[in-house]
Amino acid sequence: MARRARTRQLTGAQRLIVLLVFAYLGLILVLPLGAMVIRALEEGPGILLLTLTEPAALQGLLLTLMVAAICVTANGIFGVAGALVLTRHRFLGRRVLDALVDLPLAVSPVMTGLAFLLIFGRGGWLDGPLDLLGLKVTFAVPGLVLATLFVTFPFTLREVAYVLEELGTSEEQAAMTLGASPWQTFWLVTLPNIRFGLGYGIVLTLARALGEFGAVLVVGGAISGRTQTATTFIYNALEERQEAAAYGMALLLAVISVALLVAIEWLKRRRERGE
């Protein structure tokens, strides 16, 4: 199979369409990002270093990375388990569960934050029991983690489920007839086969977790040094007219995003090749 489509001579109308698409992409994607990068670099090349040495910024970045790491781990495990349940079993309520998985994609993150406040916040449903246990969720790190988990939940599950569906069950059945236990079948056959889909899901989860703003702002309150994340740091810095700090952090996030984008493209291709 040819991996690269042959380029053909385009007709005039086709050229116009291609041109329009590029102009559109340039306007809404490249221009804003470019402006941001240029503005950040105007502050001097040492701006990234400056950001990494400022305590509040560094704390925000580390907090974001920690939350993202927790989300990748938890949603990685539950995503694979959930995908296996959804694709390999037929049970009552499967369709409902299947639809529910996409809920976080449909709900605005700000609403998510509000919902978590209702449950865990002052006077919320679980406020009493949590108080007794001495646990604080809202305006604290656990709240940020919960909100981000919710927002990033569908990515790994959907990617892995897609690959599992494509894969079918015959290799797993072959492993079973050869004497493999269900656990051996998972580790030796299923997991290696879904690894690129899983990788893709993890990268998407990571990108979403690093960029989450609305939910963590509402649940966490962006308290400097405690619940301020990378994105809420930018927001606060702009509010306080510390533009250099805002652009520095933004540039840093952009650099990470580009790295993730490269990873996404690579994984997507490996996944599509079905290796």
Partner 1 sequence: MGIRVAGLTKHFGEFLAVDNVSLTVESGELVAFLGPSGGGKSTILRIIAGLETADAGTVSFNGQPADHLHPSARGVGFVFQHYALFRHMTVAANIAFGLRVQGASRRRQAERVTELLELMGLTGLGHRYPSQLSGGQRQRVALARALAPEPKVLLLDEPFGAVDAKVREELRHWLRKLHDEVHVTSIFVTHDQEEAFSVADKVMVIHRGRLEQSGTPDEILDHPRTEFVARFIGEANVFETRVQGGAGPVGALRIPVEGIADGTPVCLVVRFYDLKFWRDDQGCARVVRMTTLGDRVKVEAQIDGAGRIFSQFPRRSSLLHGIEPGCRIHIEVTLSRAFMTGTEDGAIETAADC
Per rule CB under 8 A, is residue 275 in the interface with partner 1?
A: yes
Between residues 141 and 180, which has the closer beta carbon with respect to partner 1? 180
Contact region with partner 1 (CB under 8 A), list: 30-38, 116-124, 183-191, 225-233: 183-191
Between residues 53 and 181, which has the closer beta carbon with respect to partner 1? 181
Per-position DSSP letters for 158-194, written without gaps between them: HHHHHHHHHH-SHHHHHHHHTT--HHHHIIIIIHHHH
Distance of alpha carbon 202 from alpha carbon 213, whole angstroms: 19
- Is the distance from CB of 193 to CB of 171 less than 8 angstroms? yes
Contact region with partner 1 (CB under 8 A), list: 10-18, 20-28, 170-178, 233-241: 170-178
Contact region with partner 1 (CB under 8 A), list: 22-30, 117-125, 178-186, 223-231: 178-186
Among 235, 212, 241, 205, which Cα is nearest to 223's?
A: 235
CB of 173 to partner 1, least distance (A): 5
Give the CA diameter of the chain.
Answer: 72
Per rule CB under 8 A, is residue 186 in the interface with partner 1?
A: no
Per rule CB under 8 A, is residue 272 in the interface with partner 1?
A: no
Per rule CB under 8 A, is residue 193 in the interface with partner 1?
A: yes
Distance of alpha carbon 55 from alpha carbon 213, whole angstroms: 20
Contact region with partner 1 (CB under 8 A), list: 6-14, 150-158, 180-188, 197-205: 180-188
CB of 180 to partner 1, least distance (A): 4
Per rule CB under 8 A, is residue 258 in the interface with partner 1?
A: no
Task: Quote helix, strand, coil % in the chain, to nearest 5.
Answer: 80, 0, 20
String marking each residue 111-150 x if it binds partner 1 according to CB under 8 A:
----------------------------------------
Amino acid identity of residue 9, one-letter, is: Q
- Is the distance from CB of 244 to CB of 43 less than 8 angstroms? yes
40 HSE (CA, 13 A, CB side):
24
Among 26, 173, 255, 265, which residue interacts with partner 1 (rule: CB under 8 A)? Answer: 173
5 phi and psi, to 5 degrees? -70, 140
Neighbours of 202 (CB within 10 A): 22
Per rule CB under 8 A, is residue 178 in the interface with partner 1?
A: yes
Among 36, 37, 176, 260, which residue interacts with partner 1 (rule: CB under 8 A)? Answer: 176
In the complex, the residues that contact partner 1 under the rule CB under 8 A are: 170-171, 173-181, 184, 188-189, 192-193, 274-275
